[in-house]
Amino acid sequence: MEYRTEKDCLGEMKVPKDALYGAQTERSRRNFKIGAGKENMPAEIIYALAVIKKAAAIVNAELSPLKITEEKKDAIVKAADEILSGKLDKEFPLVVFQTGSGTQTNLNVNEVIANVGNGILGRKLLHPNDDVNLSQSSNDVFPSAVHIAILNETNKKFIPAVKELINALKEKEKEFPDIIKCGRTHYMDATPVKFSQELSGFSFALSRDLEFIEETLKKLLSIALGGTAVGTGLNAPETFDLKCAKEIEKITGLKVRPSENKFCALWSRGDIAFFHGALKALATDLYKIACDIRFLSSGPRCGIGEITLPANEPGSSIMPGKVNPTQCEAVTMVCAEVFGNDQTVSFAASQGNLELNVFAPVIAYDVLQSIRLLSECMESFTRNCVVGIKANREKMKSYLDNSLMLVTALSKTIGYDAAAKIAFTAQREGISLKDACVKLKVMTEKEYEKAVDPEKMV
């Protein structure tokens, strides 16, 4: 590989000849070979940083025109747009496990913008720190970028995915409005429930969880930008934060605003922990839904078998004809990953020491991973499983007719103890509840049939 020599405040550094980054990026690339190529800084963070650099250049040209001329501003804006187009992704090789403030990735973006901008200008005019990073610090820029990335990914990917799943479940409710089946609690027979009612619990839970997530997103609209190094705003002109927020809104559509307390904004990640907690809450319900669906589909002959799932692929390398609930399994594995991420996010958020949190990159990585995995698994689960669910009406009716818990309808007239005696007799002797009632001389067949009507129990 051919190299060129670059200089930074620490001296000279050999950088790959064709790379658009500089010495500061190369130092990090060499010093932090931890997960390189596998745990790189998410592209969503890079794009969010580019948005901030673009907004800052526009505002700096207005507030500090002697420093950021129109020529410099235009070059920075065009370079940032190049990053946002995705054409320069290979220029951001740094890993998540670097400096805990994300400084090296901020420097990486600064260098790329400066070099691309200088290429546009045809001369070396832009400096990565003096110009691209003007009025900023990694300490306020990086956490702001994390908020922007989370907001963008949640709005673009996650919310549409969960809404699609909710709608699919609601369509299934409409498809099976009249089926009455045996309910189950503690994995044991319980009183009847409509299949549509069971499904409505799934869709309602996810709708409620979505409300939680949308509420927590509002907290992330508050960004640290303008606090610079320790929250005082040193080296940033007055109104820089407000004007940058407006520019970011123009670029992204996000109604971001400066944090009310930038000292807090630099070290506290409670808002992100709050958000990820809402993701985890949805994951707990999603896990339960996936488990219930595979439980109800178990069989096809030796399990519950109340529903059938699409046969998407062979389920065994040794057992011919076996089909497994693979989409459900994928969902549960994703949820397990999210639960683990929540532990990391919670601990990392607690590490706000003095004026700064130095676990920012891993927080960003895990939260964005949770958003991506949940989004993709819900899309897959909806399209490859939920929409193809079919009800086995005969099996549901058979279980319902044989359920001992239908006796609950009698307890209000004959009392709990007498009803329990009927259930135990039916279970012990392997007869129906009706036959047990007649045998114990509690009521006649006609009286039983009038008293025990599953349709009146749902």
With a cut of 90, say whether residue 187 has pLDDT above it.
Answer: yes
28, 101, 138, 186: the active-site residue: 186
Mean pLDDT calculated for residue range 354-369: 98
Q: How far is CA 18 from the centre of its chain?
A: 36
Which whole-number Å values give the CA distances from 263 to 49, 51, 226, 355, 416, in the listed order? 21, 23, 11, 7, 63
CATH 1.10.275.10 domain residues, the chain:
3-134
pLDDT at 1: 86
Mean pLDDT calculated for residue range 290-294: 98
Q: How many CA atoms lie within 13 A of 108 on its CB side?
A: 30
Residue 28 burial by Cβ neighbours in a 10 Å radius (0-12, 13-18, 19+):
buried
| CB atoms closer than 10 angstroms to residue 253 | 10
Q: What gap in Å lies between CA 376 and CA 428, rounded to an integer?
A: 49
Residue 431 binned pLDDT confidence (cut-offs 50, 70, 90) = very high
85, 316, 350, 398: the active-site residue: 316
CATH 1.10.40.30 domain residues, the chain:
403-457
CATH superfamily for 3-134 is: Fumarase/aspartase (N-terminal domain) (1.10.275.10)
Classified as helix, coil or strand, 420 is: helix
Mean pLDDT calculated for residue range 301-320: 94
Residues ≥6 apart with Cβ < 8 Å to 335: 283, 284, 286, 287, 290
Mean pLDDT calculated for residue range 157-185: 98
CATH 1.20.200.10 domain residues, the chain:
142-231+248-392
Mean pLDDT calculated for residue range 60-74: 98
pLDDT at 66: 97
41 DSSP 8-state letter:
P
pLDDT at 11: 93
Residues ≥6 apart with Cβ < 8 Å to 317: none
Average pLDDT over the chain, rounded to whole?
97
With a cut of 90, say whether residue 72 has pLDDT above it.
Answer: yes
For domain 142-231+248-392, give the CATH number. 1.20.200.10
Mean pLDDT calculated for residue range 268-273: 98
With a cut of 90, say whether residue 42 has pLDDT above it.
Answer: yes
| CB atoms closer than 10 angstroms to residue 133 | 22
Mean pLDDT calculated for residue range 206-228: 98
Cβ atoms of residues 52 and 148 within 8 Å: yes
147 in catalytic set: no
221 DSSP 8-state letter:
T
Q: How far is CA 109 from the centre of its chain?
A: 26
276 in catalytic set: no
pLDDT at 135: 98
Greatest extent of the chain over all pairs of C-alpha atoms, in Å: 102
Classified as helix, coil or strand, 107 is: helix
Lowest mean pLDDT among 100-104, 108-112, 447-451: 447-451
Could you name the CATH architecture of 403-457?
A: Orthogonal Bundle (1.10)
Beta strands in 224-284 (DSSP E): 257-258
Mean pLDDT calculated for residue range 298-308: 96
